[in-house]
Structure 1
Amino acid sequence: MKRLCDVVVASVLLLLLSPLLLVIALVIRWSDGGPVFYRAPRVGLRGQPFRMWKFRTMVQHADQLGGPSTPDGDPRVTPVGRWLRQHKLDELPQLFNVCGGTMSLVGPRPEVQHYVDLYSEEERVILTVRPGLTDWASLWNIDEGALLKGSPDPEKVYLETIRPVKLRLQLAYVRQRSFGTDLRILLHTAIALARGKGARPLPLIVEKGV
């Protein structure tokens, strides 16, 4: 049932948003002549690797110029990319992943292999569900770039401060997942995008099952 809903909703959204997707693609191409999309390597269901589609927001070969954490003001992010990230529009191509079956509308955000290798046995349960476009952790961490901004070591901040809370929220989702939970997350996501900020009290709310 969830898979059917994913395909139907993602297909409808792709159809409705196709003019916007085309405009964004043309602007990216015009801005620096580089590729429109970036296919980010991620780990999905049952630990299987896949490529997650995103609009390219960074200079070409950015992965060779710095680490995986991207604070606000990172010089690798292009002017167009900065605007796309601010409005979360760079994530729209992941609707193709949803249609293709490597992602769901709602589920733990997929991580790179480096971070998955750090999972404890308990945390590996996250890999038993299909990764998603949004989840409780995404809502709590919608402004990750701002949290990392100004840090001399963004990777350390991510690993020691952000990642532990993300994992708690992802585990909470896996334990509590249901059709109703997914609807709540989608509603909160729409509100967060409209407000332009997430919800810091979420860890307590989710873990108490409110």
Structure 2
Amino acid sequence: MAWLARQVSRKQAQEVWICMPFSDSAVIAPIMHALRHSTVQIRLIPEFAPLRLINFQVNRVSGLHAFDLSVTSMTGWASFSKRLEDIVISALILALISPVMIGLAIGVKLTSPGPIFYRQERVGWNGRPFNMLKFRSMPVDAEKAGVQWGNAKGKTTTRFGAFIRRTSLDELPQFINVFLGDMSIVGPRPERTVFVEQFKEEVPNYMKKHMVKAGITGWAQVNGWRGDTRLDKRIECDLWYIENWSLVLDVRIILATAFKVFTDKTAY
């Protein structure tokens, strides 16, 4: 340690970086002691590999220094502005598309017996289940044999249902979910409970996507990872969104979705 102090003095170093795994943390105190007579700035660069950090930063909690390894930035003012964005946009869109939704509701009712809406349990913010709304595109007993994943081949739809699924019009009732606070306009797409239980064991960091509200569209979808695409790629996009969220990013995603939603052949 005396050698380190001499090198700092001789080379007039401005900073000393301590790079080591936490298992070697006992070395930090002797280094700090050796440099106690120096004005050099000392930085700790801990080794976190192979951890997937989300919004890493150092905070003070009850007088203690704490490493935030996996946190959401959507708290306080950010959370308020995000919710305000959702209320304003969903209310405006619902007002504009209400004639379309009435027409679609009539189409569903006239072409297939059963309810207009399909309420499907999905997993949302903090892992809490909620009922996601869709216009019903399948016969009432379509999933009698069991839950089907995404756009599984052979998945039964009505003739009108095939049209609204192909054009993503069956997703429009989710703006009601947004207005009610179950979902957000932009966020990771929610999945069904049975698949969440499966994927959280198979895909690293899968549950981290639930640190924010589920969305109608998201960063993964506008980058081509929608429908039956690689799950690990979608999760990486979801985590990137959580790390880099801003209102400007939401606007970018909304505008990109407006151009893609009616031309992309894969459904959400």
Q: Which amino acid aligns with 2:183?
A: M
Q: Which amino acid aligns with 1:186?
A: I
| Partner Cα separation in structure 2 for residue 85 and residue 192 of structure 1 | 15
- Of the three residues 212, 216, 219, the one matched with 1:129 is 212
Q: More helix by proportion, 1 or 2? A: 1
Task: Indicate whether 1:141 and 2:225 are aligned.
Answer: yes
| Partner Cα separation in structure 1 for residue 255 and residue 157 of structure 2 | 29
| Per-residue Cα deviation, 1:104-134 (whole angstroms, up to 9, x for no partner) | 0000011111232232673322111010000
| Per-residue Cα deviation, 1:169-199 (whole angstroms, up to 9, x for no partner) | 111211111111111111110111243358x
Q: How does 1:35-74 map to 2 (within 5 A)?
A: 35-71=115-151, 74=154
- Of the three residues 172, 177, 197, the one matched with 2:240 is 172
- SS, match of residue 148 in structure 2: coil
**Number of residues paired by the alignment?**
182
| Partner Cα separation in structure 2 for residue 28 and residue 123 of structure 1 | 35
| Partner Cα separation in structure 2 for residue 22 and residue 36 of structure 1 | 10
Q: Is the 1:123–1:171 contact (alpha carbons within 8 Å) kept by the matching residues of 2?
A: no
Structure 1 residue 44: Cα displacement = 0.8
| Partner Cα separation in structure 1 for residue 97 and residue 189 of structure 2 | 22
Structure-2-length-normalised TM-score: 0.63
| Partner Cα separation in structure 1 for residue 90 and residue 184 of structure 2 | 9
Q: Which amino acid aligns with 2:88?
A: V
* Matched-pair identity in %: 36
| Partner Cα separation in structure 2 for residue 105 and residue 60 of structure 1 | 28
Q: Structure 1 residues 125-134 or 110-119, which shifts more?
A: 110-119
| Partner Cα separation in structure 2 for residue 112 and residue 193 of structure 1 | 22
- SS, match of residue 195 in structure 2: helix
Distance 1:60 1:194, change over 3 A: closer
Q: Is the 2:148–2:155 contact (alpha carbons within 8 Å) kept by the matching residues of 1?
A: no
- Of the three residues 256, 259, 264, the one matched with 1:188 is 256
Structure 1 residue 66: Cα displacement = 4.7
Structure with max Cα Rg: 2
Partner of 1:203: none
Which portions of structure 1, spanning 4 or more consecutive aligned residues, are displaced by more than 6 angstroms? none
| Partner Cα separation in structure 2 for residue 125 and residue 171 of structure 1 | 7
- Of the three residues 193, 202, 214, the one matched with 1:113 is 193
| Partner Cα separation in structure 1 for residue 123 and residue 169 of structure 2 | 22
Aligned-residue Cα RMSD (Å) equals 2.0
| Per-residue Cα deviation, 1:128-183 (whole angstroms, up to 9, x for no partner) | 101000002223234x3xxxxxxxxxxxxx5xx62222212111211111111111
Structure 1 residue 11: Cα displacement = 0.8
- SS, match of residue 170 in structure 2: helix
Structure 2 residue runs without a partner (length 5+) = 1-80
Q: Structure 1 residues 113-122 or 49-58, which shifts more?
A: 113-122
| Partner Cα separation in structure 2 for residue 74 and residue 80 of structure 1 | 16
| Per-residue Cα deviation, 1:14-40 (whole angstroms, up to 9, x for no partner) | 111111100100111010222110001
Structure 1 residue runs without a partner (length 5+) = 145-157, 199-210
